[in-house]
Every structure is written in C-alpha cells, then in structure tokens.
Amino acid sequence: MPKLHGARLMLTLRRWIQTLATFLSNAYWLFPFNRNIYQGNLKSICVPGLNCYSCPAATGACPLGALQNFMASLRPGIKADQHHFGLYVIGFLGLTGSLVGRMPCAWVCPFGFFQELMNKIPSPKFEIPKFATYVKYIFLALFIFILPFLVVDEFGYGITWFCQFVCPAGTLEAGIPMLVLKPELKGLIGLLFYNKLVILIVFLGWMVVSRRPFCRVACPLGAIYSLFNKHSVFRMSHDTEKCTRCQSCYQNCPMGVKIYEGANQHDCIRCLKCMQESCKFDAISYEMDGPDMATGKDRKASL
Amino acid sequence: MNANKKTPFGLIVLFLILLLLGINSGEVAVVLNKATKICLSCMGLG
C-alpha cells in the first residue's frame, strides 16, 4: 500500500510539473490581442525542452533552433570577426545533461508531455524497433550541425535544416497558430509547409499507437541529453539479483526501455515510473554520484 | 573519489566554462535577437 500511494503521488507530481513547465514555456497570453510573438528579454534564455520560439505564447528560446542558427551563421560570423560558436547553448545543454541526463524529456518538455497525452487515446499499440531509436543521432549530426554549417548561400549563410524540413513541434506550436493569427502569411504556404504538415500528421498518428515516437526516433535534443545518461550526477540503478525480468517496467515505460538490459540506456528519460509504479521487487533505484539514495527499504519507508 | 564519481563533475566544470565563454562573447544577445523574430522557416513558410 505505501508503494502504491507513493506511485500515485509521483505520477501526480510529474503531471503537475509537466503542466507547469508547459505553461511557463508558453506564458505569453497577450498574443491574441497584439497578434505577435513575445519579444521580451526572457527570450534570451533557452528552455530545457523542445518548444518552438516562434510559438506565439513562447517565453523562452528553443535550444535546437538557437544551435542551428549559430551553425548556419558560423562562416560569415568568423569572416566578420564575430566568433559565435554557440557555446552558450552547448554549455547550457551540456550542463543540464551532466546533472540529470535525459530527465528534462520526462519532466519539463512540452512536446514530450503532449506525446504522452496522445498515447492515452485508446487504440492498438505498436512497439518501435530498437534500431529506429538510433535515427535521432543522424538527425542531430546532419540536421543540427553538418548541413546548417556546410550548405550555404552565396553569402555564406546556411539554413536551419531541422526547423525548416522536419520539426513537427514548430508546425504545431508556431506554424498553424501563426497562420491563424496572421492570415497574410497564407500566401507563403507552399510545398515546404505541406511537407512539414505531412510530417506532423504522421507523428500525431504515431503518437497514438506508439510511445513517444518523436522522442525516440527523431528528437535531436533528446539525442544530446542521452549522451550524458551514463555519466550524469543523477543516474538510474538496477539490481540484477532482485530483478525477476517480469517486464512490468518495460510495459509501463513511456519510452519502451528495458531497464533490466542495462540502466541508463540512451532512451531512459528518468521519469521514475519503473521505480515507483512498476517494480515490485525493489530492483530499480536511482543514485546520485555513486551511492544509492533510494534503494528498496529506504524508499518504502519514505513514502 | 573514483573515476565514475569524477566524470560528472568534470563535465559540469567543462560545460559551465563553455556556458560562461558563450555569455562573455555576447551569444545571449544573438539568441535573443533570433528568438524575438518570427522564424518563418520554423513554420515551414520560408
């Protein structure tokens, strides 16, 4: 009973934090009146989750959009003696990853939250093959770093490839709302927009039948954080002696991670559902910088 | 302190330095400048 109570508490807490983070990332509610995006100083701060900064309500900067812009303007910047390598964004993402790994995906990413809600729609569910979960690293390398830097116009400027050709969050949070707010933009709708609309529709359908497909297959931000999963201060821990491989953790995991095949895998987002809701054998715990902070007995006692 | 414990702190120091270097070189203003303009490419419009 104490564990069940604790599980419900944790789930409620996570939902509240996800909701709060979504509202804080999109707290500019004057946009219906002035028909424009927020342009205040808060936009200089990167948000830890995926949230398009052209969303009319967005109050912060999307780290992926910012990073691509740095890569796209790196060459002309160097020529003009302005050495902006995107260290501000890389430092922010690296610092966050070093502390908690992929935890922001589970707790503060609005698009991750949206996918979890979509997956609650009753439907047959399908698993995503493991090899597909490595595609996000191709998106990260190609669309965030290589193409924006290498494919440039006559002035040396690249484009934000992931934003322009892929990002369904941008279409959902910025493209569609801005077209409603600024009908004059409708004249710009072309093949590019339809391409992004198709990608959005594919992901919307996929979210219903699979667990967090965008996070697992395509999200470059999750790919960056995942590189830190094994070396962050906060890590998951799995006790192979207590584990019975009942697969309860896997069935409950929003990312389809089999923690019994290794703690801190690249898709583990540290939502703690496996520890709090699934495992009946206290085989899963978390650790901070080495020593166990919440192993079976202590965790039960504290809940 | 073993290597496993040292790694996260080494990473924290490294990325904190990068963050401060970025702030010091004026990248915060660059981010602000981009983020306050409507990004047509983000919407698939340009």
Segment A16-38, tens digit of pLDDT: 999 999 999 999 999 999 888 99
Segment B9-42, tens digit of pLDDT: 999 999 999 999 999 999 999 999 999 999 887 7
Residues of B in contact with A88 (CB under 8 A): 19, 22-23, 27-28, 31
Apex A79 CA angle, A73 and A81, nearest 5: 95
With CB atoms and an 8 Å threshold, state whether B21 touches A92. no
With CB atoms and an 8 Å threshold, state whether B25 touches A87. yes
Residues of A in contact with B29 (CB under 8 A): 44
pTM for this prediction: 0.92
ipTM over 0.85: yes
Residue to test with chain B: of A42, A90, A98, A232, most B Cβ within 10 A: A98
pLDDT for position A1 = 44
3-state secondary structure A49-87: CCCCCCCCCCCCECHHHHHHHHHHCHHHHHHCCCCCCCH
Segment A146-196, tens digit of pLDDT: 999 999 999 999 999 999 999 999 999 999 999 999 999 999 999 999 999
d(CA A166, CA A187): 21
Residues near A150 by Cβ (< 8 Å), separated by ≥ 6? A158
How far is C-alpha A234 from the chain's CA centre? 18
- Cα–Cα nearest to A113, from A244, A19, A194, A230: A19
With CB atoms and an 8 Å threshold, state whether B36 touches A43. yes
| b/e code A163-180 from CB counts within 10 Å (16+ = b) | bbbbbbbbbbbbbebbbe
**Sign of dihedral through CA atoms B4, B7, B12, B13?**
positive
A54 touching B (Cβ < 8 Å): yes
Residue A46: DSSP 8-state: B
- Tokens 């953790």, located at residue: A249
- Give the A window 234-263 contacts with B, CB below 8 Å: none
Segment A34-65, tens digit of pLDDT: 888 999 999 999 999 999 999 999 999 999 99
How far is C-alpha B4 from the chain's CA centre? 25
B6 touching A (Cβ < 8 Å): no
